[in-house]
Structure 1
């Protein structure tokens, strides 16, 4: 029997046997097990299995962290041993039935916004690279000056950096229709209608270069370039509307009537009712967010940097995706990213201290790769596999995150994108901020590492755990 096959066998036994497993799926780093009775899970036995970097029950799933690459092999072995396989979408459908109303709402936000984050990450990287190549010192290295850059090249860079945000409502409406059971292509077209060139451009109106269209003499109508909330709610309502219409229309007319009525009703509702109201709400939320981030003396960075990884544990951190998108669209930069980076880096620093200090080969083999994972922006192995298990390293990581976040706020760091942090996040600061960004990470890591080394961990903690 191979090592991975033995691990799969031990894991099935530790979670209560095959009869206690409803289905199994996996993501990039975790094996996600739907169990019939979570009380039958032997947590200690699971954590002592080779290659397991941590395990926890969350959002209706028992999630076992193996890491990139390894999880695919363990998943295959578990399925080979007779456990029922399910897709992530099928598991999501089961999970949605579990948890309280707030948890279900947050999961829904995540389901809508997570699929569009990769293109926004790419856009942020394009912005960072553009900032790098446009620096005078970089151009001088090639014997050039800013005025030597051709207009066509600048136009090309604008295509890379602006497209995702110009058509952001289309992406959001597409994803919302997909999540809420509508036809994604109808959501895509509805979102495109919200930014149609026939409507006055929202940015041009805001700059005073264009005037809204006036309907009925009192109702201003304009495009919703960069808006998130109107497209999200329009997608939600539109998907429900499409399903209702489809149930009422004869099958022979469905292909023609359903999309026609859905688009007609929804674009009217979006432009005349939902759009004006929700855009105002969106501006209030954004103004409140900016006001908090502008608190003096680095207070916002201290509080957010300290508390962020606590929020990650609860699984509701995806709700902040919409806020970051709004910051990028409205301000052109993201002051939230550097603060979050500090909180992520600090948990890696705490896990690194545990890995270097412990004499346990198993814990060392768990903690050191987990710290590297955190430095690459993924904190779950460090948090659930090491820091939370021993308690104090996690707290020291929170303190390091708070201190790093404080300096990020004081230094007014402004990322060009979102969703990548620590080492990969340097790509969002390829301008005059790069040194300060690295400094913030080193401060967060250094504080968490030092506190964990001195106060946060002793091998006596491991001895107590094993008693």
Structure 2
């Protein structure tokens, strides 16, 4: 018998038995199941098992929180004790996606594309935050920036800026790599496609408005058709749609071109055809749509900022529950890539802090030791930008902490939106998030952080002590 043999049997019984499991895998902290029928899961029984720290369902997957290290051993014993075959994360994702409607599949596709490139984006955001500290006026002096006070640091600041901004300057290459891979094509061709869209011989997208106003946009004459020779720096939609087209053309060619000449035909034809379609059709249309979306959010947060911040702060955590928050990741990237910054991401950071504080408050309310441990560890995780353990393992389970958190996030969001707080990049969505905020807005954001940190604790403790203390 294995060390966790009894717990494995208890977990299986609680989720409806071995026969209810379609696929099973695990990540760093959780068992991930694709279940045939989630409605028969006994959540209470499951979460009373000593090694289980919580459970939740998202994107067609039922996930059981075990903890780092332990989950690997539990999974091995699960596979050894049953006829369930070992599966990869992708196998479970594929099985789970069959249960989704078209809208859910579209959101999942966005998640599959953007999550792999997040480490590069977040790293760039943190480094840009460091660059903000060096170059932002008024941080260490009333008027001067740090490099103006100490000019010998200017070279270091420029190097940091180049290293940090590379991910945003070549963003279409990152998206192209991930998107073409997700659509089934060659990820290397995706990188090349992205680089084509930011080729230095093209008019830089950031200079398009000025060049258009001056009537100086360069054009190609394609047999009488005037095509603007512009790049798509910082743009999301053009490379997303172009990647889909490239992948489908490549797959179509691979199924029809003889193996002996595939190297000579598939990639050149796929890239040429996709490039022509992109510059002639996809690029101009999606460029206009992307800029329209950017302008819409910029208008909302300039004309009715308080309402925008209130609503987004209220809705962000529920969006995480449904997985729809990944759609706003694309908007954040678009805003940071083509505008002066994003007002959305700072609210996201405050929402994460609020969820962490609500979970932390539960540490002082619940009696179950497993839940206490989960509340403390998941609160720390949320403060550092990962909210799922706090939300699904604690806050949604008890409901009122989740409500306290979204109320607090909406108030904090309204406050920072009213004060015009924006982020120059996507960073770590929690307490370290202040590094991604434009330095001139640090004080306003810090006040928003205090609200997001303190208010959920007060609301959760008051409700827990006055209303449901005896039930915990």
TM-score scaled by length of structure 1:
0.91
The number of residue pairs the alignment matches comes to: 464
Structure 2 gap ranges (5+): none
State whether residues 205 and 212 of structure 1, in contact with CA within 8 Å, keep that contact through their aligned partners in structure 2: no
Q: Which residue of 2 aligns with 1:37?
A: 37
Structure 1 residues 31, 181: CA separation in 2 closer, same or farther (over 3 Å shift)? same
Q: Which residue of 2 aligns with 1:14?
A: 14
- Displacement of 1:459 in angstroms is 8.2
Q: Give the one of 211, 214, 218 matched to 1:212.
A: 218
Q: Which residue of 2 aligns with 1:61?
A: 61
Structure 1 residues 197, 145: CA separation in 2 closer, same or farther (over 3 Å shift)? closer
**Aligned-pair Cα RMSD in Å:** 2.7
TM-score scaled by length of structure 2:
0.90
CA distance in 1, matches of 2:131, 2:369: 45
More divergent stretch after superposition (262-271 vs 127-136): 127-136
State whether residues 195 and 225 of structure 1, in contact with CA within 8 Å, keep that contact through their aligned partners in structure 2: yes
- Displacement of 1:186 in angstroms is 1.2
Q: Give the one of 256, 262, 285 matched to 1:248.
A: 256
Q: Which residue of 1 aligns with 2:109?
A: 108
Q: What are the equivalent positions in structure 2 for 1:276-287 lying under 5 Å apart?
A: 276-287=284-295
CA distance in 1, matches of 2:305, 2:234: 31
Q: Which residue of 1 aligns with 2:187?
A: 184
Q: Which residue of 1 aligns with 2:417?
A: 409
Q: Which residue of 1 aligns with 2:205?
A: 202
State whether residues 53 and 384 of structure 1, in contact with CA within 8 Å, keep that contact through their aligned partners in structure 2: no
Deviations 1:125-170 (A, max 9, x none): 1110011123466599999635714664454233213211221111
SS of residue paired to 1:294? helix
Structure 1 gap ranges (5+): none
Q: What are the equivalent positions in structure 2 for 1:121-136 lying under 5 Å apart?
A: 121-135=122-136
- Displacement of 1:435 in angstroms is 4.1
More divergent stretch after superposition (74-83 vs 251-260): 74-83
Deviations 1:223-257 (A, max 9, x none): 11111101000001110111111112122221211
Q: Give the one of 327, 336, 343 matched to 2:335.
A: 327
More divergent stretch after superposition (146-155 vs 449-458): 146-155
- Displacement of 1:434 in angstroms is 3.8
CA distance in 2, matches of 1:363, 1:154: 45
Deviations 1:152-209 (A, max 9, x none): 4454233213211221111112211100111111111111111112222222333439
Deviations 1:73-126 (A, max 9, x none): 433343343442211122222223221110001000111111111111111111
SS of residue paired to 2:25? strand
Q: Which residue of 2 aligns with 1:26?
A: 26
Matched, 1:301 2:304: no
More divergent stretch after superposition (228-237 vs 416-425): 416-425
- Displacement of 1:9 in angstroms is 3.3
CA distance in 1, matches of 2:186, 2:59: 27
SS of residue paired to 1:356? coil
State whether residues 125 and 416 of structure 1, in contact with CA within 8 Å, keep that contact through their aligned partners in structure 2: no
Q: What are the equivalent positions in structure 2 for 1:449-460 lying under 5 Å apart?
A: 449-456=457-464, 460=468
Q: Give the one of 260, 270, 274 matched to 1:266.
A: 274
Structure 1 residues 315, 217: CA separation in 2 closer, same or farther (over 3 Å shift)? closer
